[in-house]
Chain A
Amino acid sequence: MGELRLMKGNEAVAEAAIRAGCDGYFGYPITPQSEVMEYLMAERPFERTGMVVLQAESEVAAINMLYGGAGTGKMVLTSSSSPGISLMQEGLSYLAGAELPAVIVNIVRGGPGLGTIQPSQADYFQAVKGGGHGDYRMLVLAPASVQEMCDHVKLAFDKAFEYRTPVMILSDGAIGQMMEKVVLFDHIPRRTDEELIKQCPWASNGRPKTRNHNIVTSLDLDPAGQERVNLKLQAKYREMEKKEVLFEEVQCEDAEYLIVAFGLSARICQKALDLARAKGIKVGLFRPITLFPFPATQVSNVGNRVKGILVVEMNAGQMIEDVKLSVGCKVKIEHYGRFGGIIPSPDEVLNALEQQIIGG
């Protein structure tokens, strides 16, 4: 068993990055995620592992630092919160277009605009459907605990390099700020230059005379060429849909009703489920862990066995669109959401289930 610690979610991200063998962190302060960079600066990973940590002049610069580092094959990470992630959208599109591996953590806060610094899940569409320009997707992970904040960093790096794609960890202000015990995985040494070059033969990191020059770009002015780029990206996304879906089912076997929720909402719904079961209501919980690829088949399998589905999100109804597309229209599907930084209570969720699904 690894080292056991009591940590904030944001700190767990930072410590996990060091342990995963990350080469560089580039970020800009924004509440409620600033602890990531604060932890790294205090921890001095440049002395521990040689990892570079740099406070950029903006989120725009930070994401382009990621692009530069990733283009040379380095393992790079940034974190931010909603308004900062909006500023990064151009860079995310470029990362996807140039097929570069990078990990981006979004500790979501309430919006739109400057919004609030309290937790929210209102960036689901932005993370899952694109956000930047052009046809691209990111692999999106939705941690529901500090433990998953830690574990998802390693998973995200693995998948980023496996698919040469940006991977987003879509968390929220509550999971970023709350403290829980976490079992840290053991240190993985940073790759040597030789290992990096072997893993990333496509990267631009200095041309030995034995090979042609490498070019990292998202540009192809020829429409036929650009269509080929797009087809390649789409094939990659279909592959992810086949192989990378992650989800959790809680008491779904005998469920008559189903709650679908991700991240923090799923934690709250777990408690609501317990309250419902205590009252004799047979409720199950389905938690998508990857938001892209979405567990469409899996949620459909469970969803079509029950009498009704309540989708609980800290937004005005975003993931519900994917649930509806997956499950179809034979089962009643309703949404319950709170916005702007309000976290729903388990009682509220149970009440919504009884009012909108069971009684409705």
Chain B
Amino acid sequence: MEDQFIKTDILKPENIVYKKTSLMTDKPLSYCPGCGHGTAHRMLMEVIDEMDIVDKTIGISPVGCSVLAYDFMAIDMLGAAHGRAPALATAIKRMWPGHFVFTYQGDGDLAAIGTAETIHACNRGENITIIFINNGIYGMTGGQMAPTTLPGMRSSTSPYGRDVTTMGHPLKITELVAQLPGVYYVTRQAVHTPNHVRKTKKALRKAFELQKENKGLSLVEIVSNCNSGWKMTPVNSNKWMEDNMFPFYQLGDIKVDGKLVVKTETSEKE
């Protein structure tokens, strides 16, 4: 059997160069195959593992596809009501100032129902990290239009495409909160290629390091695919994301060390 061959001949301790972090549980992920959530979870847990801060980390999961994030992340967590994660995080960080506190939120949670909580937590400069997964759609409820759905993009509640004259424009909430003085670090990343995964992990690490220094709020947006909601194969959804999402939601740092990043021609080409 092929299985047997792999187990006996390849899976030897000396051959293992990469393994699952112990901060991911053994529970099978509830995400669709091809979705970016699993990778984002793993990078986040690797950062907490590598910084050796599990005993001082409190995570908050949202309502949306990642509502069960607490089942997959082997750290202390709280499940928030829809959109309210930054309010929970605010109180927790204020009462546990030596702890690392993060929220993990989708676009509907963070940029529609939770807009007030997001903006005010950012404006108060809470020393927390917001991880924002933007896939431009409501995944869990079955592919409805999100605040970040692109113009013309189809969803179950914009079946003829998002008409910006009646349905509003996609909200670049990341750029919006980057304007606020309490926000120290804002970046937009992706997790669909090994190179992007590495950059995302680096960004998450930076955000957590900044919490240690009490610098203010850090927000890491991860533009991700939703192959089920977009009704595409995983490969096609990643291609579509590169062709359509990235031009609108441009990857890269938006605010570093409390200062907005001025984009030049060359930095955009990178």
Contact = CB atoms under 8 A, between A and B. Distances in A.
Interface stretch (A162-170, A215-223, A305-313): A215-223
A302 B106 CA distance: 57
Interface residues of B, number: 34
| A54, A91, A217: residue with the most chain B Cβ atoms closer than 10 Å | A217
Contact of B84 (A26, A64, A74, A205): A64
Given A64-B117, A217-B70, A206 B88 contact: no
B245 interface: no
Contacts of A23: 95
A206 B73 contact: no
B54 A74 contact: no
B79 A205 contact: no
B89 A206 contact: no
Interface bin, chain A: 35 or more
Interface string A57-69: 1101110111111
B74 A67 contact: no
Contacts of B120: 56-57, 61
Interface in B71-115: 71, 73-81, 84, 87-92, 94-96, 99
Contacts of A64: 80-81, 84, 87-88, 117
The 4 closest A-B pairs by CB, nearest first: A68-B88, A217-B79, A65-B91, A204-B76
A187 interface: no
B58 A204 contact: yes
Contacts of B90: 54, 61, 65, 68
Contacts of B74: 207, 212-213
A236 to B, nearest CB: 20
A98 B88 CA distance: 14
B55 interface: yes
B79 A216 contact: yes
9 contacts: A54-B90, A57-B120, A64-B81, A64-B84, A67-B81, A68-B78, A71-B88, A98-B79, A205-B76
Contact of B116 (A57, A76, A209): A57
A94 B78 contact: no
Interface string A36-76: 00000000000000001010111011101111110110101
